[in-house]
Structure 1
């Protein structure tokens, strides 16, 4: 579920930067490079955000695809959401 939220976050910033909204390319680029927040760094051992690699991948997927159905992590291969 958290990786799906990452994808939606990418969709939001991706579309806002393209449409000339309040998100400029600098903000977009900063967000693009700051998505490594996966469970690799979890201190409590709880795994609910996937790996940092998958966190980055799903955010970037949403930012570039910009389609709700592209963010369906429930249908993704398990190797893409671990």
Structure 2
């Protein structure tokens, strides 16, 4: 009878471990999905930053051209 009790305890522990495993597996899948989403958002933001940097460079060039025209008209 004592062996069966030990076996039942072991069975309970195994069941708990399996339950934790499935819980962790589900949580892991949620985190993987979130990671994929965040990586995609990061890529979109990086592209937007690159576009804004390029736009800023073009504006700087445009300002420099305007300054040069003003200087040539004054000088």
TM range (shorter): under 0.3
Using structure 1 for the length normalisation, give the TM-score.
0.24
Which structure has more relative contact order (CA 8 Å, sep 6+)? It is 1
Give the TM-score taking structure 2 as reference length: 0.26
